[in-house]
Structure 1
Amino acid sequence: MSDRGGWNGGQVRTDEHRDDFVRMAGDDMPMSDKIREDTARRLDRAMGSLGTAAMARMEERLAWYRALSAEDRSWVGLVAQAGIAAFVEWFGHAGEGRPTPSIEFFGTAPRELKRSVSLQQTVDLVRIVVEVVEAQVEELAAPGGAEPLRHAMLRYTRDVAFAAAQVYAREAEARGSWDARLEALIVDALVRGQVDDGLHSWAAALGWTSTPVVVFAGYAPGEEPQSVIDGLRDKGRRLGHELLAGVQGDRLIVIVGGADGVKDAARGVVARFGAGPVVIGPEVPDLHAAARSARAAIAGLRAAAGWPDAPRPVLAEDLLAERALDGDEDARAQLVENVYKPLAGTPLLDTLATYLEQGTSLEATARLLFVHPNTVRYRLRKITELTGYQPTEGRSAFTLQVGLILGRLSVT
């Protein structure tokens, strides 16, 4: 009801189940019209005191009721009194074959109250009201009418239970549909990079509070998109993560919040993707910055074909060279900043260029630069310290080569 993890019922088959229960309990116990009329009058006179007693019992027994605001407690009291009044009115005409009321008196409550009070709490409320009425059956019923009154109360409260379930199911369906639309809007906005105040409003409506945030991009499995998203959401909930997901064409985008690092975020998420690469964007501090993570993950997914042996999942940072060759301006700028600029204006740049041009041969590089091989080794270690890439390792050497070329092009 109040969130997407709450009551998830679908269409409640109220009438069918109600009839089953009534058949199990037997037909209405016989009651003469005179006894019914006398009992109904007594109930009518006692409505005020019954409502007051019910409120006092709720105050005494229900901690959640005491924690409600004064306005919400007032609404709960009105609902309880409306339920008692509906019972009295129905009981007075039950002999005419009138069906029990279904959900009419629940309309007394505003939508906000239905979000504040859970289905279990509604059951607690109904139970309290029943206890209050049952405790006074002997005084309320006319002579000879106590047992039929108890039976009528049983039937009535069964219908109230089904009515409550129906109300909460409808509210949950409406809330679930609205949440799904908000989720799709957030994912689409982050993919497009359209981060504005609207994004924060949508996230607040979904109750998103988690930090940090990581974005995953991959291909959707051949399942119904909503079932994929529901499965991801359930997995995230079990792991204690907040999760948003969206299927866009053949692409699946997953946003994970509250994980303890990228590895923790990947648990339970990667397996839900279809065949092919899964790319992880950089960890960012909050949902507002998640557009940068999404942009990197999606660019990495486009460029992943350039590294067929890439691990699954693979970090977008590990695909910088492929992304740059694919035209990703962010990757190009990052390589220039991380590779070329730290080396520019130093002997390290010439050493790196020569080393790569000579097929990573230490001796050939030393000969061309007229230095000792140990000097080349020292410079290569400094290059690793400054750039984070190791020239003697194949993938790193490739990334350094692309960064070197992009840096040269940027100064021409």
Structure 2
Amino acid sequence: MAAKRTTKALTATAAHEARAERLQAATGALATAAIAAMDEELPWFGKLSAQDRSWIGLVAQSGITAFVDWFRDPEAHSSMPTRMFGSAPREFTRVISLHQTVDLVRTTIEMIEDTIGDLLPTDDVPVVREAMQRYAREVAFAAATVYAQAAEMRGAWDARLEALVVDSVIRGEADESVRSRASALGWTGTATGTTGSSEVAVVVGRAPEADLGTENVADAVRAAAREAGADALCAMQGDRLVIVLGGTSKPVDIVQKLAGWFGPGPIVVGPVVKDLMSAVTSARAAVAGLRAAPGWPDAPRPVQADELLPERSLSGDGHARRQLASDVYGPLTIGDGVLRDTVAAYLDSGGSIEATARAMFIHANTVRYRLKRVGEITGYSPTNPRDAFTLRVALTLGRLLNPEPGTYVL
């Protein structure tokens, strides 16, 4: 009995080997028929370049050859379905989509099932078709794996490229190459559903404490920004999170919806600029504002960088000093400088209108009128404690930068 079983097993093995040899001999005809079927049934295939069609032909031929090896000994060639894609270069996944790859596999399998009846003996056809069904499932999983790995690699590369773009903006090196790199990342700089150029603002805050991963945070920030109607580039820089917002003239409204992705502490929004090439101005103010923010513990979150001008000037920000001197002190010196003198007397008197009137020998209503004019001209009201502090610093800086009465030069 044992001898009969052994003889029967040897006979089955020999029959299977013979069937595999016949299938091996038919691979050339199957590969040719596969390319012809793709050209006939897939409209997009004929639109590819000759090089791309050659790559796909190599994959198809590799797949048919791999099927023969797998059919001959499935256990010894269990990894063959995954390896069949090794003949295609990395760019293969950029040439055709996963959906198109599935169409290729389906077309090839259907072609083999329809063709093997003409190439193999009748007894071989059911066995080969059953094996092909099993193999097709493995090929589908292999294709999904290849595209998943390609997506991971692109994601990692995009994250590095995005960090490089944001770093260039922070360091003031935004040029045409930065614009090109941002465009490669899908940056349009425009609000959702709009076209044309847009305004840009840079936002800086502390990085989140939770170990969420740079890519996870960046993806979430971009998604939230798009939902809010803006475009965004995002990068972690050490212990800070930097976001470049595009497509909005009201970045504070957008940042309020993104605040949850920042760590504890201040979030500073730089001034709005016309485009990405000018974003260094916004970035410089935002970074300086984050450095100076501890000087104003009760600052709103988020806070605009221009609201931190006094703290920025005290922390050594020369741009903030010049801005206070030109935009706040400068307008007060127009004419005979009466507005400057009035606000200085008001601040020196501890915020008393009556004391200011007595010191300047004018009516109290005149003081009130002049203080109102100061607020209209500079945007800072002397009667507001926070604005009064800003005016005090601006007066001091203006005097230091322009010591001569009646002259104002920056």
Q: How far apart are residue 329 of structure 1 and its match?
A: 0.8
CA distance in 1, matches of 2:287, 2:68: 67
Note if contact 2:375-2:381 (Cα within 8 Å) is conserved in structure 1.
yes
Rate the CA distance shift 1:182–1:263 in 2: closer, same or farther, 3 A: same
Give the aligned residue type for 2:179: H
- Could you tell me the TM-score, scaled by structure 2's length? 0.81
Find the aligned partners of 2:139 and 2:381 in 1 and give their Cα distance. 71
* 1:356 CA drift (Å): 1.5
Residues 1:95 and 2:82 are matched in the alignment: no
Is 1:353 paired with 2:326?
no
Pick aligned residue for 1:55 from 26, 34, 39: 39
Q: What residue is the counterpart of 2:194 in the other structure?
A: none
What is the 5 A alignment of 1:362-373?
Answer: 362-373=353-364
Does 2:223 correspond to 1:246? no
Secondary structure of the structure 2 residue equivalent to 1:245: strand
Query: What is the identity, as a one-letter code, of the residue corresponding to 2:57?
Result: Q
> Could you say which residue in structure 2 is the equivalent of 1:409?
400
Q: Are positions 1:117 and 2:106 aligned together?
A: no
Offset at 1:389? 1.0
The one-letter amino acid of 1:85's match is Q
Partners of 1:261 and 1:140 in 2: CA distance: 70
Does the Cα contact within 8 Å between 2:225 and 2:254 map onto a contact in 1? no
Matches for 1:198-217 after TM superposition, within 5 Å: 198-210=177-189, 211-217=198-204
Taking the aligned partners of 1:370 and 1:201, their CA distance within structure 2 comes to 63
Residue 195 of structure 2 aligns with which residue?
Answer: none
Equivalent position SS for 1:304: helix
Structure ranking higher on relative contact order (CA contacts 8 Å, 6+ apart):
1
Q: Is the 8 A contact 2:62 2:87 kept in 1?
A: no
Q: TM-score, normalised by structure 1?
A: 0.81
1:75-128 CA distances to partner (integer Å, 9 max, x unpaired)?
Answer: 554344334423443454432555263455534544444224222332232223
**Corresponding position of 2:147:** 168
The correspondence of residues 356-395 of structure 1 with structure 2, limited to 5 A, is 356-395=347-386
Identify unmatched segments of 5+ residues in structure 2: 1-11, 190-197, 404-410
Could you tell me how far 1:283 is from its partner in structure 2? 1.9
2:223 aligned to 220, 230, 237, which one? 237
**Tell me, what secondary structure is at the counterpart of 2:213?**
helix
Equivalent AA in structure 2 for residue 384 of structure 1: G
SS where residue 279 of structure 1 aligns? strand
- SS of 2:381's equivalent? coil
Q: CA RMSD in A?
A: 2.9
Q: Name the CA shift for 1:269/1:51 in 2 (closer, same or farther; >3 Å).
A: same
**1:392 to partner: Cα distance:** 1.2
Structure 1 CA distance for aligned equivalents of residues 247 and 89 of structure 2: 33
Residue 333 (str. 1) matches residue 322 (str. 2): yes
1:286 to 275, 278, 283: 275
Partner deviation per Cα, 1:176-205 (whole Å, 9 max, x = no partner): 332222223223332232334443343244
Match for 1:304: what amino acid? A
Instruction: Tell me the equivalent position of 2:8.
Output: none
Which stretch of the first structure deviates more once superposed, 386-395 or 240-249? Answer: 240-249
- The alignment covers a number of residue pairs equal to 376
Contact residue 39 and residue 142 of structure 1 kept, 8 A: no
**What residue ranges of structure 1 are gaps of 5+ in the alignment?**
1-27, 60-64
Q: CA deviation at 1:299?
A: 1.0
1:126-154 per-position Cα deviation (integer Å, ceiling 9, x unaligned): 22322333344544542022222222222
Distance 1:316 1:379 in 2: 28
Q: Percent identity?
A: 43
| Aligned 1:2-401 pairs, distance under 5 A | 32-42=16-26, 44-59=28-43, 65=44, 70-71=48-49, 74-75=50-51, 77-93=53-69, 94-96=71-73, 99=77, 101-210=80-189, 211-224=198-211, 227-240=213-226, 241-259=230-248, 261-346=250-335, 347-401=338-392
Deviates more, 1:267-276 or 1:239-248: 239-248
Asked whether the equivalents of residues 75 and 109 of structure 1 are also in contact (C-alpha less than 8 Å), the reply is no
Is the 1:252–1:273 contact (alpha carbons within 8 Å) kept by the matching residues of 2? yes
How far 1:35 sits from its partner (Å)? 4.3
Q: Is the contact made by 2:162 and 2:233 (CA closer than 8 Å) also made in structure 1?
A: yes
Between Structure 1 and Structure 2, whose CA radius of gyration is higher? 2
Deviation at 1:330, TM superposition (A): 1.0
Stretch deviating more after TM superposition (205-214 or 102-111)? 102-111
**Residues of 2 paired with 1:397 and 1:255: CA distance?**
32
Q: Distance in 1 between matches of 2:14 and 2:369?
A: 102
- What do residues 205-261 of structure 1 show as CA deviations (whole Å, max 9, x unaligned)? 42322143222222223233x615522422422441443333333322222233462
Q: Distance in 2 between matches of 1:30 and 1:158?
A: 27
Give distance in 1, aligned partners of 2:64 and 2:82.
15
Q: Which amino acid aligns with 2:72?
A: G
- Once residues 13 and 393 of structure 2 are traced to their aligned partners in structure 1, the CA distance between those partners, rounded to angstroms, is 88
Q: Following the alignment from structure 1 to structure 2, what is the Cα–Cα distance between the partners of residues 320 and 343?
A: 17
Contact preservation (8 Å) 2:63, 2:84: no
The CA distance in 2 between the partners of 1:352 and 1:186, in whole Å, is 45
SS at match of 1:269: helix
